[in-house]
Amino acid sequence: MYKSLTNVTTFRFCKLSGVDYSSIDYTRMDFIPDLTIIRELSSINYFMTMLYALSYVHGLVPPDTEETSDHIEARDIFEWIESDALLLGCVNISDDISVNRFIYEHKPGIMDTDEYGKTLAVLWIETWGEPPVNIRHDPTFRVFSSGDTMALTWVRLMRTVPPEWMLAGGAMTVVDNTGDTLAMTWVRYVLTDVPERLMHGPLVRNKYGDTLGMMYVEHLKKEPPVALRHKVSLRGYDGHNIAMLMIINRVELPDWVLKDPSFDVSAINVQGHTCMILWIMTRKTVPPPFLFHDPNTIRGNTVLTVWKQYLREEPPECIYTKKELEQKRKGRVPKPTGPSLASIWARCPIIGPPPTYFMSM
């Protein structure tokens, strides 16, 4: 309905037909209406809030562009609003409308930034959506506080593929401060399959060592498409390979993972957990036979310790370490490798010493 403001006659007809212009969404308005229309709607806060920003940005002259009468007219309207306390009182210049706040306090140019390194265009995306042509700039420009380009900001907030002009000039390859690409940002925030336009190779990693395939498993809870598969031996900085992530996120281990020559079931993450231990801890069921491994290669909690903590089934002898098996055959209960009950009691906010019978456990 805001498009009826492009013509005075249409506006008059709509108004006589009962259109309530005080309840219209003006956030997609990308033009400055005729002054006659502006005067009739000047008491509507939503309209004046949008007009304030539009008149300012339409008054800016982009580089390599000659000033026109449209630029001058827009600046005149902006100055008129600022000089009239009643009109300015209808404009929302709070922190909620960051574009107007930035304009009101700083009167910025196209490439000027706020304290977080955000330009008018970036703030416009955060506030309303696609910015007007007058304030669009180099799409590879990064906000220093987050590393976001306009395209990254768009994906994070709008959850759609950015307009083509935001992807030009190498912007597709720019990453944010965590090393996330556009595709990774899509998976993290949109939580759907990455559009073909944003896809990249399987070996690109962010600063945490995660690939796009790993993020598919972690955030979408599904195995990645064929184009994003890579060796299972590739691990993130937390030590998780893609098989471990599938176990943790309850994704069925597919054949291409199980048949990968680099898949080592005894590989551990930074906490010393193998796929078998992760299966027991997260799924609380007996792991499949293909995940069993030599228990003597584990540091920290043994497979037997984890088994007894999470499962009720009798542990098979194949998961005992040599020391645990020797103790079992001598009729002794294997000593737990984890913290004792007494040490757990001491770390808890419980008054008094631990019970005497804890000390023997």
**Per-residue pLDDT tens listing for the chain (361 residues):** 778 999 999 999 999 999 999 999 999 899 999 999 999 999 999 999 999 999 999 999 998 889 999 999 999 999 999 999 999 999 999 988 999 999 999 999 999 999 999 999 999 999 999 999 999 999 999 999 999 999 999 999 999 999 999 999 899 999 999 999 999 999 999 999 999 999 999 999 999 999 999 999 999 999 999 999 999 999 999 999 999 999 999 999 999 999 999 999 999 999 999 999 999 999 999 999 999 999 987 777 789 999 999 998 889 989 998 988 888 888 765 555 555 545 555 555 445 565 554 444 4
Residues whose CB is less than 8 angstroms from the CB of residue 195 and which lie 6 or more positions away in sequence, other chains included = 161, 186
pLDDT for 283 equals 95
d(CA 111, CA 136): 9
**Integer distance in angstroms from the first to the last C-alpha of the chain?**
75
Using an 8 Å Cβ cutoff, are 101 and 93 in contact?
yes
pLDDT for 343 equals 54
Helices (H) and strands (E) in the chain, counts: 16, 0
Supply φ then ψ for residue 264, to 5 degrees.
-110, 110
Using an 8 Å Cβ cutoff, are 228 and 213 in contact?
yes
Using an 8 Å Cβ cutoff, are 334 and 324 in contact?
yes
Using an 8 Å Cβ cutoff, are 87 and 81 in contact?
yes
Residues whose CB is less than 8 angstroms from the CB of residue 341 and which lie 6 or more positions away in sequence, other chains included = 354, 358, 361
d(CA 304, CA 327): 13
pLDDT for 328 equals 82
241 strand-pairing partners: 235
d(CA 102, CA 123): 9
CA–CA distances in Å: residue 231 to residues 202, 205, 259, 276, 289: 10, 14, 10, 19, 22
State both tokens at 296. Answer: 């003597």
217: helix, coil or strand? helix
211 strand-pairing partners: 205
Burial 306-339 (b: 16+ CB within 10 A, else e): bbbeeeeeebeeebbbeebbeeeeeeeebeebee
d(CA 178, CA 145): 11
Supply φ then ψ for residue 205, to 5 degrees.
-125, 150
34: helix, coil or strand? coil
Cα-atom radius of gyration of the chain, to the nearest Å? 31
Alpha helices in the chain (DSSP H): 8-16, 35-41, 45-58, 69-83, 85-89, 98-106, 120-127, 150-158, 182-189, 212-215, 242-248, 255-258, 275-283, 303-310, 322-329, 341-347
DSSP class of 221: -
pLDDT for 88 equals 96
d(CA 54, CA 32): 7
State both tokens at 355. Answer: 């019970």
Using an 8 Å Cβ cutoff, are 58 and 134 in contact?
yes
